[in-house]
Amino acid sequence: MLALEEKLRMVVLLMPDLVLEDKVAEIVATLEESYLEVKARKEIFFSDAEAESYFHYLEPSARKAAIDSASRGLCEVLVLEHLDGDVVERFVEMAPAMTGTYGEGSFYRSMDRWECKRDVEFFFPHLDSLPVERTLAVLKPSAIAMGTMNGKTIEQVLEDEAAAVGLFVVGKRQCQLTQAEAEVLCQEYAGTTDFGGACGVLCQETGCIAICLEGRGAIGKLQLICGPLHAGTARERAPTTIRACWGTDTTSNAIHASVDMSCADTELKTMFPEGSLQMQRTLCIVKPDAITNLVAIKSEIEAAGFTILREKQTTLSEDRAKEFYREFKDHPSFSSIVKEASSGPCCAMALCRLEAISVWKQLMGDPSVKEARKSRPGSIRARFGRDGQRNAVHGSDSVKAGALEIRFFFPEMGADQIPDDDEVRDFLFRKSSVESMDLKSLSDAEATNFATDPTLQQLLAQGLGGLCQQKPKGLAALDWLSAWLADHNPSQAAKKLQFEPPERTKQFLEYGVNSDGMPFVVEAPRAKPSAKPVVEVDAAMLAAEPKEGELSTPPFVVFVAGGPGTGKGTQCKKISQDFNLVHLSTGDLMREEVAADSALGRQVNEHMQAGTLVPDDIVLALLKKAMMKHQDTNRFLLDGFPRSVDQAIRFEREVAEVAFMFFLDCSHDTMKERITARSKSEPGRVDDNDETVKKRLKVFDEQTTPLISYYEPIGKLRRANAEQDIAAVYAEAKRFFSSRFIYLTGPPGTPMDQVAERLETKYGYAAINLTTLLKTYSESSAAEAVQVKKALAAGKPVEASIACPLILSEIYRDMALGVQNFVLCDFPQSLKQVQFLEYRIPSVTRTLVLDFSQADAADLAAIAADKGADLLQLEKQAFYFFGEEAQQMLETMSGVERVHCSLIEMNMEPMEGGLEQQVVEGTWKGVLEKVKPGLTLVLGLPSTQAPELATMLAKRKPNTYAVDCNQLLDRELERQTETGRAMHDMLAKGQVVPFSMTLELLKGVLNLTSSDSLVVENCPMYVDQIELIEQEFCIDQVYYISGLDEQVMSWKDMFMKQCTDPDPAKTFNERVERLPPIVAHFAGLGKLTELAVGASGKFTAEELESMIDRETLPDDAVISSPLCSAES
């Protein structure tokens, strides 16, 4: 049996016909019966370009058939593995039977080891996320002898291909291999008849070129560049690879590549023995034209493995620039180079790494920005440069130039490279112990001072001798030596005392004797210190600007909580993959920081070693640092955090506001069962024994229960029943993370944009107009721009593979800002667009059709034409919208709602702005009725069972949550959110917090997880607030817990014991006075359900459930009997 990392995995692609016929489960069962394990699977929607890329090796007719079939719908991708690693051979045996059962062309598979790697990377890209690796490429003599092909040698082709996938050439040497070296490289052929021939090819007299490549996933990337081992197979299956173009057979296949990490390590040591690759320094200058991109450039530098030894931001004068670029003084562009270099601030950095000169040149790219964009589009100059002189960065050409240039900016570093052991030893024996940058000798001594300074070796020897005489024990030895070195530091004696006269406090301008014979002096006035300029600062703008080390935009953050054995790690992994979230585990972050030996890591390690809890300051700093690295995604799952309510509040105050807490709810018995089962299947886990499990469950209860109690009343807790299997739990979890899409469509000329803008303002949706995006795209220089322009002119839908990526880019941008709700105007235009979008982004969707008649649409088009729109184009679009294809699409889609719109009815309500404004208001009125979120109100005096009732009602509706408005406001203040700070400022000024803030917070709770309704208690507090609520929400039902005077008094007594208000009796009495008008209002509307409490003053849980059941039964029932007929 092979180790896990050695097992080969292959890909099987099931075509749409099998997916539509529900044959996938049957095929998976057949594979598993043959011990082929499905390690990963997913559904994909092929665009034409993707299908063309995947099936490129097929004959033209077969390729067209495969592309047509794959583009018909969703395909299923399976990744298979076998314990013995012979998954390809085993599937080959099964393939004929499967073809007979499901038909020719119903599935496609990886044909050999190379295709396995290519296909896994195609469907599940992972190489760029692997650690940085080094691998070996050896260009064989036969390929080198071929010279050039299409103007390039094989060496140039390899370097270009490597650069395209982000690999750097770290080392290169031309050599003639010995038999022993060739045998090391030919282990791939060991045990085959080709072994001798492969060694012979490498040992030819003309010699080979060995190249060391470095980068993320370098081993896998190089193998994909090379192609299948046999050149003939490569020409057939991978015609663009190096072996296909330059190879002739199995052994003369142009290039050797390391097959795995172990081979790469052995082969690199053979071809590049120790000392072949040197640690070097080079200078980097981020020029004035690119200084705004300094952070991004530094990130690229660090990602390429460079260490920044020194950094300095400066502005070069023209003289300094001329001195630095003096080697170009005879160049025609010398003056423009100097002018550009001195045009503004720049940043100089001394960089260090293995073969720094060569790697930095590759990372920079060609000096010509135009050439850099062709040869290395991912290079710094290609991305940030503008033209010849303004090419973003400068780098040293050679080791010698690097030493001189570094000394130009950083004279304190010297010009020497990193010394070897002999040089360090020599330095200790020669370097004076007195602080100096020079090596002093006897001849350097001053003529009046014949004593030379002791060397470092002499000083240390003297100190160690004293240490041996004193013989202190343990850490006391270090303390003694450090004190001795401080006392005998020769640099202190070398310092000379300087005389500093006291400052003169008075200055006399005139002195003498006056007419009365009295002496006098005239003292000059004291010089006033120059007043510092007063700079006016806009506090609001200052607060809005992100500080250094702060997140530039508010992230979308979810806390993940669950006990041991609930599957947090499994669910987080699936959620992060499907919903584009970054999974951060505090435990993993701490271990990574400790391994990196950073300042934070050393602090964490101290607490780990001492067995103490890591302080919140350090934990928050780790989380913020990790979140800063992923600001491009800006969506996070925090696993294992927070551990307490205080920790959660600190996070929300100092880092970011949390969207919600995702809780995997599971009983102790189930958790114990799962941990017991895990301990049997994974023996050796020290934390899975009975005693440890009990402690872990106790700690979990102590930590998590307060967090649940904190976030649940404010609508920020989302529960998933973790008693179920993994798939069922994930099905629940998906609902919380899915986006909400409203597709807003209608004939051209309708006020879709204005309606979308109001949805954006009122309910926090992000508005995206497909037609606007397409028009902008059609005016660009993109390859498909002409095609889009023709489709728009004809009033036809644009292909999904063009239109949907434009929408996706807008959605992803807004999702990084925490937006989950979107209104897509003029979408969809075809069913394929819907399938494409909903496949890429899991979502809850509804379609609103602005249902104007065809005659009304013609009038709207005429109004738009009067404002400059193309009337003919509008008519074509209207023809398509009312045509059979578009209407059939709407009938096929689920969740389509038609918003009745009539120009005649709208025109009956005159208003300022004329007909156009009437259309906007009339359309918005119809849309608002459809999109208003629902609200169930629970009324009652303090200390009634309103919280229990609200929770029960919320559980009866899918994705509905209970919210206590009093706690919602209090915890906004406590967590110091943006709204909380605004409330605090108002209260500090003696102002009343407006009710609109409460309504906005409630809408925010709805938007967190695309909910449609809430159950709310402690709202409204005044009868006049009802009108404001009805403007934003649709009040579905109102429940009122009532009681007689005796029960009211018991509630009051309970409230006064629990309340922290200065005058709880007054607060309760005010609530008693305000409640009747609110109850009367809803009773008059017929929406009130009264639940009267008995003598006990309290319902049991069963009584509440029973009363809710009774009140929610339908009022009318229709009874039919088969015995009744029309004839009777």
**Phi, psi dihedrals of residue 110, rounded to the nearest 5°:** -70, 135
Residue 425's CB is within 10 A of a number of other CB atoms, namely: 12
Query: Is 325 annotated as catalytic?
Result: yes
CA dist 555 and 314 (Å) reads 34
Active-site residue, from 300, 355, 405, 652: 405
Let me know the angle formed at the C-alpha of 770 by 19 and 889, rounded to the nearest 5 degrees: 45
State the first-to-last Cα distance of the chain, in angstroms, to the nearest integer.
79
Token duo for residue 718: 């989302």
The rounded distance, in Å, linking the Cα atoms of 707 and 661 is: 9
What does the alpha-carbon distance between residue 795 and residue 797 come to, in Å, rounded to a whole number?
Answer: 7
> Phi and psi for 309 in degrees, rounded to 5?
-75, -40
821, 1010 Cβ separation under 8 angstroms: yes
Instruction: Single out the catalytic residue among 181, 340, 361, 391.
Output: 391
Distance, CA of 460 to CA of 431 (rounded, Å): 12
Closest CA to 257 of 284, 222, 282, 301: 222
Q: Residue 950 in contact with residue 1017, Cβ under 8 Å?
A: yes
Concerning whether 1069 is annotated as a catalytic residue, the answer is no
**Please, which residues have CB within 8 angstroms of residue 6's CB and are 6 or more apart in sequence?**
85, 260
Contact call for residues 484 and 460 (beta carbons, < 8 A): no
Among residues 39, 121, 311, 325, the one annotated as catalytic is 325
DSSP code string of 966-1010: HHHHHHHHHHT-HHHHHHHHHHHTTPPPPHHHHHHHHHHHHHHTT
| Rounded CA separation 802/823 (Å) | 19
Residue count of the chain: 1128
| Cα 113 to Cα 115: distance, rounded to the nearest angstrom | 6
Torsion angle of alpha carbons 723, 725, 730, 733, nearest 10°? -10
Among this protein's residues, is 188 annotated catalytic? no
828 upstream amide cis, omega within 30 of 0: yes
| Residue 394 annotated among the catalytic residues of the structure | yes
Task: Determine which one of 23, 82, 140, 287 is catalytic.
Answer: 287
Tokens of 158: 């390899």
Host H or E run for residue 934 = strand 934-939
451-468 b/e (C-beta count within 10 Å ≥ 16 → b): eebbbbeebeeebeeeee
β strands within 514-566, DSSP E: 519-523, 556-562
Are the CB atoms for 752 and 850 separated by under 8 Å? yes
Are 850 and 901 within 8 A, CB to CB?
Answer: yes
Q: Which two tokens stand for residue 917?
A: 């404004």
> What gap in Å lies between CA 1074 and CA 1022, rounded to an integer?
6
Active site residue 405: yes
Q: Which of 394, 583, 716, 1052 is catalytic?
A: 394
394/403 Cα distance (integer angstroms): 14
Is the preceding peptide bond at 1020 cis, omega within 30 degrees of 0?
yes
- List residues with catalytic annotation: 287, 325, 391, 394, 405
